[in-house]
Copies of this chain bind each other. A is one copy, B any other.
Amino acid sequence: MRYSKTFIPTLKENPAEAEIISHRLMLRAGFIRKLTAGVYSYLPIGLTVIRKVENIVREEMNRAGALELLMPMVQPADLWMESGRYKKYGPELLRFQDRHERESCLGPTHEEVITDIVRKELHSYRDMPVNLYQIQTKFRDEIRPRFGLMRGREFVMKDAYSFDVSDEAASESYVKMYEAYKRIFARCGLDYRAVQADSGTIGGSFSHEFMVLAENGEDTIVICNDCEYAANMEKATVVLKEPADSAESLPLEKVETPGKRTVDTVCEFLGIEPRQLVKTMVYMADGKPVAALVRGDRQIEKVKLTNLLGATELEMAGEQEVFDATGVPTGYLGPAGLKIRIVADQEVAAMKNFYAGGNEKNYHVKNVNLGRDFEVDAVADLREITTDDPCPECGGRLGLTEGIEVGHVFKLGTGYSEKMNATFQDKDGQEKHFVMGCYGVGVTRVVAAAIEQHHDDNGIIWPVALAPYSVVIVNLGIQDEVINPAAEKLYSDLLAAGVEVLIDDRDERPGFKFKDADLLGIPYRVTVGKGFKKSGMVEVRERRSGETKEMAPEEAIAFLQDRIREQLQ
């Protein structure tokens, strides 16, 4: 491609609208332009990168035996009512009426549509396994779209859905996708982790998120420094390090704590450690109050609590709600004598003779003991993991890092097929529900994540697999009788060798061209300038390392072909 014939509107200044690096660089490098909140046009060079990701995804999906189709973006509400999601899904589901006043929506995901297709077309166990996917523009009406392609309202996604005869077969389909995803993100040149994840609102029995490690990640993930373990905070399992306290129970005792309502002030006042205290947190679980107990120096992990309670909505109770439910002002709540449902973190169950609120203003109690002073409905891992906890897999050291979710694999089970009555005839002649899985890759998000991971002060540094062009030729003598033909010959020779190459044939200053080349992030730059007139050599520079080499044009072609081939898996 000739720079003079394409449309790459680079910006010299940082645009005010951009909050994170990938957003800023994509605007500056002429990859995208905003149309309206969370909705972007993909300009030619940006679309080229998106297509690279799509092609890698497509190749790996096909290699895994999945079949590509394309489902509609406009969907009838009926199907969403069947699955129960028309009500359940928030305002992210953009609903509207068409000209005939039929309730419709813009599909943010396609479980309903694919289940409808499959229940009509697949009837026998012989038809399975089947995995159907699409690469499509989706719309999700985010309340606060931000960060460019990172959290847009309109975005490109690959979504796949597997249908199997049994839970076992569904696990095999899941593993195939898990492996395909590993290949996808490795081929994209990304440093990523597959983390055990909570399956969120889609519901389902098991899931992994694929996270690109980057500073601007929205998610915090727990990784083990000694093994492959990685998990979302919500999912990371806390292993009890210490055995249950075997001390003898001491008599319950009331202690006055006038005006001391926080862990810190109570501990300071009583001269104890937060680990000797138990916090009593009241939540409203689908409108009903429930108290969760956790050690004073720990934090409740809301998703773990939600899952334990099987709640659809879980919110911290407000002061008034707490008082209405318990008769106790916040700050003095404790398990002993509490009249509402109680669940406890596993650590609390192992404690003896602890401190807690006295269920009376200005009082706490000491020597509280589970079993003697109160009972709980359930004991479970309910707290946030910390880097002091051991790795649940190997006992090794844990670390926290930020990640950007770019892929997600779910084992869905029979949730959708039951609600939508999607069945097949099994070997034994019985009608059974399809066991489903679903698998997403945020295609446009991969592009943003790649930039978050690969950039420097001068611009993007594309992995070769995603680069819009592998090579940019900077022609520094478009009017020169020696330089210009040499640059043009190099251009056509590289094209003939199958190299994706951009030639900067604009009538601009060298510095201007070099800046754009760096900003666009092209992996290799070849400069044809005055040096060529003297020595017949061109300068080859690697964007990532900044290393330069002088070589003859023919040598450069061979060198570039080798380097590019090496980096494409």
Residues of B within 8 A of A73 (CB): 73, 137, 139, 154
A153 to B76, CA, bound (A): 13
1/0 per residue A118-141: CB within 8 Å of B?
001110000000101000110101
- Confirm or deny: A68 has a beta carbon within 8 angstroms of a beta carbon on chain B: yes
Residues of B within 8 A of A50 (CB): 70
> B35 and A76: CB pair below 8 A?
yes
Residues of B within 8 A of A121 (CB): 7, 9, 33
Distance to closest chain B CB from A146 (angstroms): 14
Distance to closest chain B CB from A15 (angstroms): 12
- Confirm or deny: A36 has a beta carbon within 8 angstroms of a beta carbon on chain B: yes
Contact-size category for A: 35 or more
1/0 per residue A299-320: CB within 8 Å of B?
0000000000000000000000
> A74 and B41: CB pair below 8 A?
no
Say which one of A94-102, A198-206, A449-457 lies at the interface with B: A94-102
> A44 and B72: CB pair below 8 A?
no
Residues of B within 8 A of A136 (CB): 137
**Assuming the A-B contacts A7-B121, A96-B94, are A39 and B154 also in contact, with contact meaning beta carbons closer than 8 angstroms in the complex?**
no
> A141 and B98: CB pair below 8 A?
yes
Q: Give A33's nearest chain B residue, CB to CB.
A: B117
Q: Give A129's nearest chain B residue, CB to CB.
A: B5
> B139 and A35: CB pair below 8 A?
no
Residues of B within 8 A of A68 (CB): 44, 47
A122 to B121, CA, bound (A): 50
- Confirm or deny: A482 has a beta carbon within 8 angstroms of a beta carbon on chain B: no
Q: Give residues of chain A (104-118) contacting chain B, Cβ–Cβ below 8 Å.
A: 104, 106, 113, 116-117
A458 to B394, CA, bound (A): 64
Residues of B within 8 A of A69 (CB): 7, 41-44, 46-47
- Confirm or deny: A86 has a beta carbon within 8 angstroms of a beta carbon on chain B: no
Partner of A72, one of B7, B40, B67, B130: B40
Of A42, A74, A141, chain B has the most CB atoms within 10 Å of the CB of: A74
Of A99, A117, A153, chain B has the most CB atoms within 10 Å of the CB of: A99
> B7 and A130: CB pair below 8 A?
yes
- Confirm or deny: A65 has a beta carbon within 8 angstroms of a beta carbon on chain B: yes
A123 to B222, CA, bound (A): 50
In the A-B complex, the 10 residue pairs with the closest CB atoms: A96-B96, A9-B121, A36-B76, A42-B70, A91-B99, A44-B67, A39-B72, A41-B71, A99-B141, A35-B72
Q: What are 29 A-B pairs at a CB distance below 8 A?
A: A5-B65, A7-B69, A9-B121, A9-B122, A33-B117, A33-B120, A35-B71, A35-B72, A35-B75, A36-B72, A36-B74, A36-B76, A36-B102, A36-B104, A37-B102, A39-B72, A40-B72, A41-B71, A41-B72, A41-B113, A42-B70, A44-B67, A44-B68, A47-B70, A73-B73, A73-B154, A92-B99, A94-B96, A96-B96
